[in-house]
Every structure is written in C-alpha cells, then in structure tokens.
Amino acid sequence: MDAAIGARPSYAWRSIIHGRDLLAKGLIKNIGNGQTTSVWIDKWIFDNTLRRPFNKQSLFDLDLRVSNLITPQGSWNYHLLSELFFPPDVVRIMSYPPNLTSPDNYVWAYNRSGCYTVKSGNWLISHLKHVPALISDHEQESRALKAKIWEVKTIPKIKMFLWRALSGALAVSVCLQAHGMNSDPQCAMCEDAIESISHVLFNCWPAREVWEIVNITFPPHGFPDSIHDNIAFLLKVMKQESVSLRIRMAIPWLLWGIWKHRNEVLYAGKLRELNALVSHAIEEAEEWNKIKELQPQTSMSNVPVLRREGHWVKPPIDFLKCNLHMSWLNDSHMCGGAWIVRNHQGDAVFHAREMFLPTSNRIAAELRGMLWVLRSLLDLHLDNIEIWSDCSAAIEAIIDPSNWPRYHSYLDKVHRLISSFGQIVFKVSSTKANSVARDIAVSVTREGRTRSYLARGGPMWLHSRIEEEKRR
C-alpha cells in the first residue's frame, strides 16, 4: 500500500493514513485500468485471505502490471491469464471485469460489498491489535448525499446524471486528467477557470445566467468549488417553501439543461437562448410531475423498494416487466442465465438464455447477467421497463453503488447502460415470482443445455405456467 490511496476520493480511505500497516491487512486492490497494481507484489486476490496470485511458471517478471493483462478493448486477456495463473485464480480474476476509465483503488476485502462496516472491521480487529477510525465524516456525508439523489423527484436519466456529477464521473477536463487523459484543464466555455464539474454547473457564465434567471438566492459567498456543497444547497432549496414550486421542481432539469447546453456548445457549436433553456426545463418538470400525480403508484420511481412480491404480478399499462435469473452453483461451474420480458397483459414478448464462464460468487454472476440483459433490451429497443431479480444484493448495489465498491467496475458499466433508457426500475423478486426465468436458467446448469438463444414469446415447455401467472 503506497501513496496511491488518494487516487479515487469517493472510495478512498482518507482518514486511515494512520495505522496503514494494520489496514493493509483488510484492504484489497480493486482493479480499474490495472496501471498501479503490480501482478506479483500487490494483494489483489481474495479467497478468504488476501493474497497475491499463485504463479504457474517458475520465472516471473516483477515489473508486470495488471494493465498488461487487459486487452485494449478493456477485457481480461484470457489467454495470458491462463498462461500465468492456475484455473481457480483465473476464475477469481475474471469475476471482476477491469474498467479502463477508472484507476485501481482499495476496497475492504472482508465483506461482500467492499465497503468497510463496523462488523467486519471488528472481526478483523479482533485478530489484530489497534483500532483505527476508518471512514471520515466527510466520506460519510458524501455517501448520505448520494443516497438522497435516488429520492429526488425526476426522471432516472437525470438522477443518474446527478449521481455521476457527485461521483466525479462527468467528462470535464479535471476528471479526464484524474483518469490520466491528456486534456487542457481550462474551461473551454469561458477560458477563465479550471473546468471542474462544479464550475460547469454553477460558476461558468451559462450556469450563472440560468441561476440568475430563475432568481434563487445564492449562498452568501457565491457557489464554492465543491459539487458536493452546491448540490446539497440545491436539494435544500427544493424544500424551501419561499421559492416558487415551479422553480423548485425544475431544479434537476435545470442542472441537466446546463450540462446539455455545455456539450452542445463544445461539441456541436450550438448556442442556445438560456431563457428558452429555463422555460423548457420548467415545462418538462411540470409535465413529468403531472403524469406522476395521475399515477399514484410511487413504485414508478427509482426509490429503493426492496419489498419482494410474493407471486408474479403484471406490470402497469405501458410498462414491460423483465424477470432475470442467474443460476450460480459454485466458482468452478458454468453459470446459466435467463430473462423473459412480459407486457401488461402478461404475454411473453421475448426471452433469452445464455451460458457464462465460471464466476467466483453469486453477486458478480448476477451483475454479469444484468449487463447482458440491459444490452439485449437496448438492442431490441425495449424501454419503459421493470427489471426484477431474486438477488437482492445485486439490486441494492445497482440502486446504491457507492456502498458496493467491490463491484465498482460492473456498476459503472450498468449505470452507463441505464442512462440510455427512458424509464427503468429495478426490483427484488421472490424466488417464486421469478420461477419462469429461474427454470430456464437452471436448464443450463442442471441439464447441461449450453446452447444460447434469443426468441420471441416464451418457451413452449413453460407455456402453461406463463398462462397461469397471466390469469392472476
């Protein structure tokens, strides 16, 4: 463990500089682009203990970086992995895909999410001597704020955008530089400041003008250069009754509008009338809130609803429902995956089955399946969709990625795909309500049906069950 600890502030363990040696025993290197992880020196394998991979060959190159094991397309070089490591380690490595857009970081090894918890920390500490203070107040506040984003009244695409803004995951020059990309830190809009996310959304001239048009009272000393503080400020404004309701409701759309405007100017050379941007945002917000009022089911939002449904229920009109199941037996078995999409009448629209390489645990398998289903739905142009899975940990991780750093790379990919959907909701299904998808997936692992396919409708052999669920 070296100074690289500050590489990714949102997951970084800033307050743990003291007691490093101790913590080194609980932190595992989580692979992003692999550039700062040494294959033979860093501990980046976990199988109940934290360790380096076992070496299959007698000679090894001490300078080898994990980035050398990743293809230019960003996936593991399977051929090379099999040459260097024994099969069980190959499975462990391949269970966590690399992520070229983020640096390697440290996550907590002794629980499944990768987030330090008091319980798992105590367990480790009981095996060790000193008690370190682990998560700083700042880090805790930042997590609480990210969690609040999911409750903001707006469309999923904008929630995702806000979450990415808070996570430092928007392509502004400061963030690009942090990811090792050569870019000019100057803001190309005003050429007057460093382009941070906070600058673009609050302090650059279009942003200033927008916030002036809607006439909200700025913080006393203007907006600071902290995206965290500024978004926290706006969330407070959204609750202030002294501000007109139309403006308050439009705040998420205004932020989104400012961001889109910046991209249109920089990449398409289009300058838009900012008054029009504001009125457009207000209209969109009103429209959306009106529709919301007509649909009293709050379940239409992305608010974490982790109540399981007992038996399969049809989706609302204009919505599709997709049930996903991944059949995972152990870390050396192929996994089976299946999904089935049904409409509001309960009729099956499409279903698919696929076989996947072994994965080290159930959550990683489910997230791999989630990427597969999201890509398939986009290919098929299916939108307005509910995705139901019986792996509650995977759904929790998608809803609140900041609490699941171990799966950062999967979740980052999942969220990129989510942003292409208009309306998408993730829910936890009971085993029973997910039985059609489950039976198809299990046919891969139990009956060795390895042929992958995509088909219209549902499978014939489950026809009567689908009809039965439809009648409910």
Distance (Å, whole) CA 396 – CA 48: 23
Helix, strand or coil, per DSSP, at residue 435:
helix
Q: Which is nearer to Zn ion, 255 or 393 (CB)?
A: 255
For Zn ion, the binding residues in 331-360 under the rule CB under 5 A are: none
Q: Tell me how far apart the alpha carbons of residues 215 and 15 are, in angstroms, rounded to a whole number.
A: 39
Count of residues of this chain found to bind Zn ion when the rule CB under 5 A is applied: 4
Provide the β-strand partners of residue 336. Answer: 327, 355
Interface characters, 168-207, with Zn ion (x: CB under 5 A) = -------------------x-xx-------------x---
- Provide the β-strand partners of residue 427: 388
Of 91, 107, 99, the closest CA to residue 179 belongs to 99
Q: How far is it, in rounded angstroms, from Cα 460 to Cα 146?
A: 44
Residue with tokens 């995702």: 160
Answer whether 28's CB lies under 8 Å from 109's CB: yes
Q: Which is nearer to Zn ion, 199 or 325 (CB)?
A: 199
- Among residues 177 and 376, whose Cβ is nearest to Zn ion? 177
Two tokens, residue 171: 């392509």
Least Å distance between CB 225 and Zn ion?
12
Nearer to Zn ion, 64 or 193 (CB): 193
Positive/negative CA dihedral, 36, 37, 39, 40 = positive
Nearer to Zn ion, 16 or 189 (CB): 189
Binding mask 105-134 for Zn ion (x = CB under 5 A): ------------------------------
Sign of the dihedral through C-alpha 103, 107, 112, 117: negative
The answer to whether 258 contacts Zn ion (rule: CB under 5 A) is no
**Minimum distance from CB of 203 to Zn ion (Å)?**
7
Q: Which C-beta is closer to Zn ion: that of 187 or that of 428?
A: 187
Report the nearest approach of Zn ion to the CB of residue 438 (Å): 52
Residue-by-residue DSSP string for 343-370: -TTS-EEEEEEEEE---SSHHHHHHHHH
Residue 21, C-beta contacts closer than 8 angstroms, at least 6 positions apart: none
Closest-CA residue to 178 (of 12, 404, 394) = 12
State the nearest-atom distance from the C-beta of 204 to Zn ion, in Å.
Answer: 3
Tokens 């609040």 sit on residue = 148
Site string for Zn ion, 265-284 (x = CB under 5 A): --------------------
Structure tokens at 28: 């595992």
DSSP 8-state secondary structure symbol assigned to residue 200 = I
Residue number, 224 or 457, with CB nearest to Zn ion = 224
Rounded CA separation 70/76 (Å): 5
The residue among 261 and 408 lying less far from Zn ion, judged by its C-beta, is 261
Rounded to the nearest angstrom, the gap between the alpha carbon of residue 283 and the centroid of all alpha carbons in its chain is 29
CB of 189 to Zn ion, least distance (A): 4
* Least gap, CB of 331 to Zn ion (angstroms): 50
CB nearer to Zn ion: pick between 185 and 219: 185
- How many C-beta neighbours within 10 Å does residue 428 have? 22
Nearest-CA neighbor of 146 among 168, 128, 126, 129? 168
Q: How many residues does the chain have?
A: 472
- To which residue do tokens 């204009």 refer? 318
Q: Whole-number minimum distance, CB 187 to Zn ion, in Å? A: 3
Measure Cα distances from 199 to 94, 222, 237 in Å: 38, 12, 19
Residue 46's beta-bridge partner residues? 50
Find the shortest distance in angstroms from Cβ 193 to Zn ion: 5
Q: Tell me if 395 sits within 8 A of 389, measured CB to CB.
A: yes
Query: Residue 187 or 425: which CB sits closer to Zn ion?
Result: 187
The least CB distance from residue 192 to Zn ion, in Å, is 6
Instruction: Rank residues 189 and 281 by Cβ distance to Zn ion and give the closer one.
Output: 189
Shortest gap between Cβ of 183 and Zn ion (angstroms)? 14
Q: Which is nearer to Zn ion, 54 or 205 (CB)?
A: 205
At 36, give phi and psi (nearest 5°): -105, 10
Nearest approach in angstroms of CB 170 to Zn ion is: 14
Which one, of 154, 146, 164, 147, lies nearest residue 200 by Cα?
A: 164
Q: How far is the CB of 202 from Zn ion (least distance, A)?
A: 10
Site residues (CB under 5 A) for Zn ion?
Answer: 187, 189-190, 204
